[in-house]
Structure 1
């Protein structure tokens, strides 16, 4: 059991604390400081302000997306104000866990994240206290948690996915065409360079909306982390597993924008649409993750639904509250 003194103040300020999670080496290139680590952040509970839909018996574990980290204090408050305990992971080589010399965000398998998820759950002691676990994942984190839940049926009471990256932007046929090429290169040049495809427009959209965080250097670059064949092969393998059909073993809520927009040149529509994923393809893929899947398409939402304009955020929050009231209360 973790000692309270192992938690220290977090950069998010009052009400947030963090603690490191020691990990074993995963064989990927790393810093000279030894094996990678992950960081668990918790939002200290306050007196619940919402009585309807109380989540007093719920623990939430949040996992961020690609080229990202946890910074959404308002998202934490959405749950803690209803009585839940809220935790968030900065996965190995992301955000608080990123160390000098490590390739940001790199992994050769999404299954490697099982280690920090299990370590986080041990600290949270959700199972020991009889509380119910809600998994909350954004983008690549949504894919990671979907696959984890499918490998560990019955552990989570509910899964909430915020624009989960369940399918490659090329679509199923495009993914099947490029998978052998990516896989071959991943075997002989896993850390090879890829062309930069992020032109920074998604970051610009957040800036124009006013939801762009002031991230520490290197944690959330404007044009994203460099990508590598080994990492892309791992993601494509995850997409293939979803396409073949998985069962997360619990009700799932999938939040998506109502439309996508091309990321190739700036368009003001990027402040009210998903400029990262093809949301219609994600919606179709979401029907293959479990027995009970609710898909909510939200007008004017961007890729991270909770970084959208306030009107779209409020709709998303209402969907989450109604969903959790039905499935975990």
Structure 2
């Protein structure tokens, strides 16, 4: 593994490259970002024994400094992972965000945990995933019971926007296309409204070129089939092996045309379907619906964002 170097987020953040070998497109790496301990950390008791691993969503990377500071100010150690072919981990010639199976990310997660030094040190691991990252971490935790002490999901993509029946009808077609033309093209479905909503509420910083396109990465049959297979696994019931908190907006908005309602709702997922799917991921699941929240609840307007942090703080109290 590489050494720690200053990160693009500036003072208090460092990054480390995690080599993952190579695939058909060349060198593959993940990138681990760590938030340095806050000089004014209040060190709330057992918070000092907590390690957090954050995984971003589709067409995304880690930039949520406020989320990192929430944990470091309490004394926890915070790390975030830019998965292969995302953000800091993009290499020339790669198909951005592409994998043919979500369990490919096991290697990224294992490399991150090794670099963090969590396991075998008596520390407690909190997995924190947003959107597709929430689906990825849910499936990883279910395949590796006992390794995480808590799972926190921020608007996790646990079900397709078409709902269970739509997913079941679409899956055979997707699987056929994935076998024949895994890197084929799909019609663009992201019209850029979610990016616009984040900009208008003032929560989206400027991103390095290509890391977070306004309308997202192009999607491909192989990748979408992998995601839908993950949804099917969740629908059949999985167990992350520890308590789980699922944070969602109180409502969804159709993404077909711009509406000011998008400034206080989830314009990416159908949150009612996600709430139902979330009941199948663990024996103990807490679902917190945040009024006025965006798809990323921690990038919402101040009132909704504060409500999300309050819910997270209250829920994690049992662990810390």
* Band the TM-score falls in, shorter-chain normalisation: over 0.9
1:59 aligns with 2:56: no
1:20 aligns with 2:17: yes
Asked if the contact 2:44–2:75 (Cα under 8 Å) also holds between the matched residues in 1, the reply is no
Instruction: Determine the structure 2 residue equivalent to 1:155.
Output: 147
Asked if the contact 1:70–1:88 (Cα under 8 Å) also holds between the matched residues in 2, the reply is yes
Cα deviations by residue, 1:122-169 (Å, 9 ceiling, x for unpaired) = 111111221100000000000000000000000000000000000000
SS of residue matched to 1:56? helix
Cα deviations by residue, 1:234-293 (Å, 9 ceiling, x for unpaired) = 000000000000000000000000000000000000000000000000000000001000
Asked if the contact 2:52–2:125 (Cα under 8 Å) also holds between the matched residues in 1, the reply is yes
Structure 2 matches for 1:173-252, cutoff 5 A? Answer: 173-252=165-244
Deviation at 1:52, TM superposition (A): 5.3
Aligned length: 320
Deviation at 1:35, TM superposition (A): 2.6
Cα deviations by residue, 1:17-68 (Å, 9 ceiling, x for unpaired) = 001001033x4x42xxx33110000001124544657511100000000000
Cα deviations by residue, 1:60-83 (Å, 9 ceiling, x for unpaired) = 000000000000111000000010
SS of residue matched to 2:94? coil
Instruction: Determine the structure 1 residue equivalent to 2:253.
Output: 261
Say what the alpha-carbon RMSD is for the aligned residues. 1.2
TM-score w.r.t. the length of structure 1 is: 0.95
Instruction: Determine the structure 2 residue equivalent to 1:73.
Output: 65
CA distance in 1, matches of 2:148, 2:293: 27
SS of residue matched to 1:294? strand
Asked if the contact 1:22–1:36 (Cα under 8 Å) also holds between the matched residues in 2, the reply is yes
Instruction: Determine the structure 1 residue equivalent to 2:277.
Output: 285
SS of residue matched to 1:55? helix
CA distance in 2, matches of 1:127, 1:19: 19
Alignment match of 2:314 (pick from 308, 313, 322): 322
CA distance in 2, matches of 1:242, 1:266: 31
Deviation at 1:212, TM superposition (A): 1.1
SS of residue matched to 1:129? coil
Indicate the larger mover: 43-52 or 313-322.
43-52
Deviation at 1:99, TM superposition (A): 1.0
Instruction: Determine the structure 2 residue equivalent to 1:89.
Output: 81
Deviation at 1:323, TM superposition (A): 1.0
CA distance in 1, matches of 2:287, 2:241: 17
SS of residue matched to 2:216? coil
1:106 aligns with 2:98: yes
Give every structure 1 segment of 4 or more consecutive aligned residues whose post-TM-superposition deviation is greater than 3 Å. 47-54
Alignment match of 1:274 (pick from 241, 266, 269): 266
SS of residue matched to 2:119? helix
CA distance in 2, matches of 1:206, 1:122: 34
Asked if the contact 2:27–2:91 (Cα under 8 Å) also holds between the matched residues in 1, the reply is no
CA distance in 2, matches of 1:86, 1:212: 21
CA distance in 2, matches of 1:137, 1:213: 20
| 1:219 to 1:133, Cα distance in 2 relative to 1, 3 A | same
Structure 2 gap ranges (5+): none
Structure 1 gap ranges (5+): none
